Amino acid sequence: MRSIYLLRHAKSSWADPTLADHERPLAPRGRRDAKRIAAHLIQLGIAPELVLCSTAVRTRETLELVRPALHEAPVELEAALYAAWAETLLERLRAVPDERRSVMLIGHNPGLEDLALVLASAGPERDRIAEKFPTAALATLTTPAATWKELSPGGAVLTAYVVPRQLAD
């Protein structure tokens, strides 16, 4: 089995309206929520073998706050992940080296939510994502695909979906 962790960046700040979207940092709530997700990852022993992260400030700050949970996984910062559509994200996942059995993608909506819905077969957790994929939400999917190139729509099972408000400090 291969595991995919889709993490939407934590809540960003709109305090400085002159900043370009790519440059917006995390809000205080975003920092708190990212730390909650990090603790959740540690508690469940989730340690992806590769992390792909958008180059936007808010995704990089989210990455830094969850990094204690990542057990020194290699990180690839990729400009193409910023505001990417689900199709682009799926193609990126298909390019992951097959020796990596798990990958975390830290990105943005609507692409991340759409990717989760494209990959996941039906189920109650999938319905929750369809309702809302808020900031700092984490979707965990597994696929029996023998290679990443074989990753296909509906070819994964959504095994977990957590949002920060479900987690204690």
Residue ranges of the chain with per-residue pLDDT less than 70? 169
pLDDT of residue 78: 98
pLDDT of residue 169: 61
Structural domains of the chain in order of their starting residue, each with its CATH number: 2-166 (3.40.50.1240)
20: amino acid identity, one letter: A
* DSSP-derived secondary structure letter, 50: -
- CB 91: neighbour CB atoms within 10 A? 13
pLDDT of residue 128: 86
Say if residues 84 and 33 touch (Cβ distance below 8 Å).
no
Cα-to-chain-centroid distance, residue 139: 7
Tens digits of residue pLDDT in 14-34: 999 999 999 999 999 999 999
pLDDT of residue 121: 83
The sign of the torsion formed by the CA atoms of 19, 33, 112, 59 equals positive
* pTM, rounded to two decimals: 0.96
